[in-house]
Amino acid sequence: MSINPAEDIHPISELRKAPEKLLELTRETGRPVVITVEGRSSGVLVDTDSYQRLVKAFNMARALLPAEEDVKHGRVRPVFKRRRC
């Protein structure tokens, strides 16, 4: 999910005037819209499908954290026994 600075950064005044326009932009492009306040990024607007994908990815990463800690601390064992030839 990339951002096109020329098209995807909008001031909050635009969100106040035409929120439907910005929502439609997120749906059409699949890209997030960055909302600025006084020239600084303040929030991000994403379409529902993109949000669901982000939540799934976050949950998967969170589920893997304990396993990554186990590997980091050497708490691992082989899945298969080695055969001696």
Q: Residues 40-73: pLDDT tens digits? A: 999 999 999 999 999 999 999 999 999 999 999 9
Question: Does the pTM exceed 0.75?
Answer: no
Instruction: Inform me whether the pLDDT recorded for 81 exceeds 80.
Output: no
Rounded Cα distance between 11 and 29, Å, is: 18
Give the separation between CA 72 and CA 66, rounded to whole angstroms.
10
Q: Residues 10-43: pLDDT tens digits?
A: 999 999 999 999 999 999 999 999 999 999 999 9
What's the pLDDT at 54?
93
Question: In 1-85, which ranges are E strands?
Answer: 9-11, 33-37, 40-45
Report the distance separating Cα 25 and Cα 21, nearest Å: 6
Fold for the domain defined by 5-72: YefM-like fold (3.40.1620)
And the tokens for 59? Answer: 């949950």
